[in-house]
Amino acid sequence: IWDVMNSLGLLLMVLFLPVTVVCLQPFRCVSNPSGHSSVSAAASVLCGESEHKVMLAIGSLGTLLYPVAVLGSVTTITWFYPRLVAVGKDAALLRSCRFLYQRFTPK
C-alpha cells in the first residue's frame, strides 16, 4: 500500500501545475475593444456576469480542493520529514513519501 501511495503522490505532483492553471483560469479577465472584460479562456463569458460568478465559485472550490490541499500536504510532510529520518520511526511513511525526496540524494 505504501508503494501505491508513493505512486499517487508522484501523480499528484505531475498534475499539480496543469490542474492549478485550469482552476485559476476564471480569475483571469482581459479587456476587449468594446470596453467590457471577458474571461481569457472563454471569450464569450463577460467578467462580473452571473455565468462568470459561477465559474469563480467552481474555480475557488477547485483551488481549495487541489492546489491548496497538495501544497499543505507537501509542506507538512517536508516539515516533519527531518524528524522522522532522525528518529528512524515510521519507515512506511517515509517510503510513501519517496516521490518528494528520492531524486535529491547526496552523491
Question: In terms of Cα–Cα distance, which of 16, 10, 33 is closest to 70?
Answer: 16
pLDDT tens readout for residues 27-75: 999 998 988 999 999 989 999 999 999 999 999 999 999 999 999 999 9
Domain residues of the chain, as ranges?
2-101
Spell out the residues 6+ positions from residue 46 whose beta carbon is closer than 8 angstroms to its own.
36, 37, 38, 52
C-alpha cell, 101: 525526496
Q: What pLDDT is stored for residue 98 in this prediction?
A: 85
Q: How far apart, in whole angstroms, are the C-alpha atoms of residue 39 and residue 103?
A: 39
Q: What pLDDT is stored for residue 80 in this prediction?
A: 86
Tell me the CB-side half-sphere exposure of residue 10, using CA atoms within 13 A: 13
Is the pLDDT at 104 greater than 70, yes or no?
Answer: no
pTM of the model: 0.77
Name the CA dihedral angle for 26, 32, 34, 35, rounded to a multiple of 10 degrees. Answer: 70
